[in-house]
Structure 1
């Protein structure tokens, strides 16, 4: 069975992957819950992954910002990466105007709280099929990250490099899972990443937004489980 490290995105932990993690563990896989704390650069976030995995080779299940950390590991420590599952992520550097937008969001979070900022700017873009329970989970995860963790993550987002060449030279297999209705990491960007990879499987889920794990938890679990089975068959 496989070892999979789950790398969280901005303002969240891996609680939204509970359906997938529980199913994988029931099948005998080892799932590693990575936390970035207040790490404010990709090097330190990559170090957190290496610490959690004890530098042993594993698959990386990387959500959103976590994908940027996965790319850093491919650049700096490729021997520790068996394959990359990119979930609602992207490979481009910061877009023009991004810093100004994030500065506005941070100011609102500092003044009115993370929950207020989330409900004003983020929640409307996060899900295609939101429920009160899923939205409360997103708010709860953000509160656990906290304002200082959010500040650190915004610096990472601002300083991230373009990673398309990293995908192109990587020798490991990729699985791309994304939502058809994700305005933050839209289908066109997913196709662009897939076109760079040497070994890739792309899955686009209908009626799913950025948090595909909450909009379509069963589909995400089955997609990931099937891909892991395929990787095992290739090795056998």
Structure 2
């Protein structure tokens, strides 16, 4: 499975995996702001952006294997691998399946628990609706939770950009990803076994994956740094890119490479 990817900068390779139901376009400010600090690699996860969706069964593990194949294609042996929200789920699966490829881990606005039964049923409901009627349901049910109240009230251009990214989500990829997320495993054992440092980031206004979820991740990881981004909701990297980039640059600066 070949993922479409955009890269900038040089130095320590840092792979950033996007949130649902967006694409690597969400990382624009990271590709621009972090290029002096590291080599930023931002793939479109399968079905989103420029990456195709094949006929494999929905699986977060398959998405993680896609990222390993991307590293092979880029000639990268080991990298800092990170993700936000769904990208965090893929990152944790990558940690479980490809631990020898890691220099470090970034987990932003995500959670390590598996979905409970009600959450799985809700994902299936949205997947079914999107398959039948297109992605309009996402604007009503997913978009409102993606940004915090500060962004909605004060950053109209940012909210408009996020809305546009949600509108662009292909229905097939949305349904596939919802089902993949519904089937994901609990990752706390994986986090406890991490042999590399991790940066855990959360927006203080994130109501989808809360600061408490992020604290639980940081407490599980043996070597973790924990950063709360003020005046940001679930898409902390998009809502407060300067603060997000500062945290990532400081973390990457501690990584010994090659």
User: Do Structure 1 and Structure 2 share a fold, with TM-score over 0.5?
Assistant: yes
Q: In angstroms, what is the RMSD of aligned CA positions?
A: 1.9
Q: Which residue of 2 aligns with 1:51?
A: 69
Q: Which residue of 2 aligns with 1:17?
A: 27
Contact between 2:127 and 2:179, CA under 8 Å: does it hold in 1?
Answer: no
Confirm or deny that 1:88 pairs with 2:109. Answer: yes
Number of paired residues?
Answer: 232
- Inter-CA distance 99–28: structure 2 relative to 1 (3 Å threshold): closer
- Inter-CA distance 22–122: structure 2 relative to 1 (3 Å threshold): same
- SS of the residue corresponding to residue 94 of structure 1 reads coil
- Which of structure 1's runs of 4+ aligned residues deviate more than 4 A? none
TM-score by length of 1: 0.90
TM-score by length of 2: 0.83
Contact between 2:203 and 2:233, CA under 8 Å: does it hold in 1?
Answer: yes
Pick the aligned partner of 1:195 from 219, 226, 233.
219
1:45-84 map, 5 Å = 45-54=63-72, 56-84=77-105
Q: Which residue of 2 aligns with 1:213?
A: 237
Contact between 1:168 and 1:197, CA under 8 Å: does it hold in 2?
Answer: yes
Higher-helix-fraction structure: 1
Contact between 2:104 and 2:196, CA under 8 Å: does it hold in 1?
Answer: yes
Pick the aligned partner of 2:202 from 175, 178, 192.
178
1:137-148 map, 5 Å = 137-148=161-172
Q: Which residue of 2 aligns with 1:3?
A: 13
Gaps (5+ residues) in structure 2? 1-10, 47-52
